[in-house]
Structure 1
């Protein structure tokens, strides 16, 4: 059955939920933008180079990318673009999304709750008018004049699915069926690129960052044991529990216990609360 077409646009979708029909397998041609993104892996300028790489797939005004750490838990990887928007808008809006706005996203909320795609990458299309009225729609779409979005949720190694989204403003217009088809073909590769960038960044930062954050936490909460502080420092630095366990030479269950004790002493319930606690702690 041919997929339906949204009124006012030519992007095929299979249902009002925003599921996009599989593309015909367009090849993604090598481009200077893609080469630049590869060369910038693990570096601070990666976001700008990744946005350039999208020009060969589905040109966008801005993008955001997250690691799905578990059911309902998003960690911001990077965001870029947003020319003409408020300074640092892509990152600020992405932080709001990871902090809970994803629950108001009709195209991706169910997949985030489920902890990622079952197997193949998931492609979703979301137009502004199909988002129920909420602070999410106002702050992330209406005020910055964002009109259209394509999102991909795909496995990217280390058990962490990657969710990334491309956005267009009213001035740029909506994504086309060809844009969606090319992104469908390239989604897994782009997710792998984002996952590798995240891995390189996290490899370069811990354990120095983790140790610094652990010291800061112990100053703010002397009741923490050195091991509890070290576990929290690793979590705040973006490490996974398995990673912390491997570096500490301990079992995963022990790391979970240290985390539970530390969270109780700090009065937090999750990683977001831990990060807020660190932000409030004196340097």
Structure 2
């Protein structure tokens, strides 16, 4: 039978982590959700071959993103999830656990460990686990918002072997911190999406009302109006900060010549 743990542990109850694990968790928490970053954080504690992020919409699992330790010619996570979603998810004990987590406080973390030979359907074992030589799955479930359940699946393959008892204990200790990092990344993703919507709105208004700025100049001015500095704009547009400064000077000159706002505060009011 699959092993299930359900607890509401504070993060400081986790065992001591190495510097690499702490750094990776901080990277996860400070940026929008990334399966690759989460995989890196887990691998700093326990070897894992694949990681998938899955959300539940009306109790139905949906793949958000997957990542692998190795580079493959095909997307193994997406292929396996498509088979799982088409034929086997209703047989997964995880679905019932997800429903329970959705009804519990948001701080709860539920964890399920299942070996391939414990899967209740032969087709599920053969089409996914045996085909990809997977040995077991370790899943962390949490609800960052009421009813919004997220799952972090960790998979081992035959090269790594089954999760051992000491590794499971390390993962159980990591679970509260991993949940916090994932929740923070979801919040960061929401902030980033909101900012991108604001930038798009400012850019559209600028194109309607402003002079003939170049596309790059308009991108810079829209971000200035939304409060970003040169370093942040450079990171988003993948250019050097000096390039942002040059584009800003050109755009400000065109705006001033047209009698329009040409500084950060007035641009924020004008393009809001």
TM-score for the superposition, normalised by structure 2: 0.58
Q: Measure how far apart 1:132 and its partner are.
A: 2.5
Whether 1:105 aligns to 2:107 is no
Deviation per residue, 1:25-57 (Å, 9 max, x gap)? 65141432441353354358x322221211243
Unaligned runs of 5+ in 2: 201-272
* Secondary structure of the structure 2 residue equivalent to 1:64: strand
User: Distance in 1 between the 2:95 and 2:80 partners?
Assistant: 16
Deviations 1:149-188 (A, max 9, x none): 1111123346533211111001100101112112222212
Q: Does 1:18 align with 2:3?
A: yes
| Alignment size in residue pairs | 193
Taking a change above 3 Å as real, the CA distance of residues 68 and 86 of structure 1, as seen in their structure-2 partners, is same
Trace 1:35-50 onto structure 2 (pairs within 5 A).
35-39=23-27, 41-42=30-31, 46-50=34-38
CA offset digits 1:171-207 (Å, max 9, x no partner): 1001011121122222122122223223323432358
Give 1 or 2: higher helix fraction.
Answer: 2
1:31-110 pair list within 5 angstroms: 31-39=19-27, 41-42=30-31, 46-69=34-57, 71-81=58-68, 83=70, 87-94=74-81, 96-97=83-84, 101-106=88-93, 108-110=94-96
- How far is 1:114 from its partner? 4.0
Partner SS state of residue 143, structure 1: helix
Q: 1:28 to 1:102 in 2, by over 3 A?
A: farther
Distance in 1 (CA, whole Å) between partners of 2:16 and 2:46 is 10
Provide, for residues 196-239 of structure 1, a one-character-per-residue CA deviation record: whole Å limited to 9, x for no partner. 22332343235867xx9xxxxxxxxxxxxxxxxxxxxxxxxxxx
CA deviation profile, 1:41-74 (whole Å, cap 9, x unmatched): 4358x322221211243321111122334x5133
**Equivalent position of 1:174 in the other structure:** 162
- Worse-superposed segment, 161-170 or 193-202: 193-202
Q: Which has the higher contact order (CA 8 A, sep 6+)?
A: 2
| Residues 61 and 167, structure 1, Cα contact 8 Å, conserved in 2 | yes
Q: Quickly say closer, same or farther: Cα 1:117–1:85, change in 2 above 3 A.
A: farther
CA-to-aligned-CA distance 1:99-147 (integer Å, 9 cap, x gap): 66422223x1211344636353212110001112354333331111111
User: What is aligned with 1:147?
Assistant: 135
Change (3 A) 1:194 1:102: farther
Task: Say which one has the larger Rg.
Answer: 2
| Residue in structure 1 matched with residue 116 of structure 2 by the alignment | 128
Query: Per the alignment, do residues 100 and 189 of structure 1 end up closer, same or farther by CA in structure 2, a change over 3 Å counting?
Result: farther
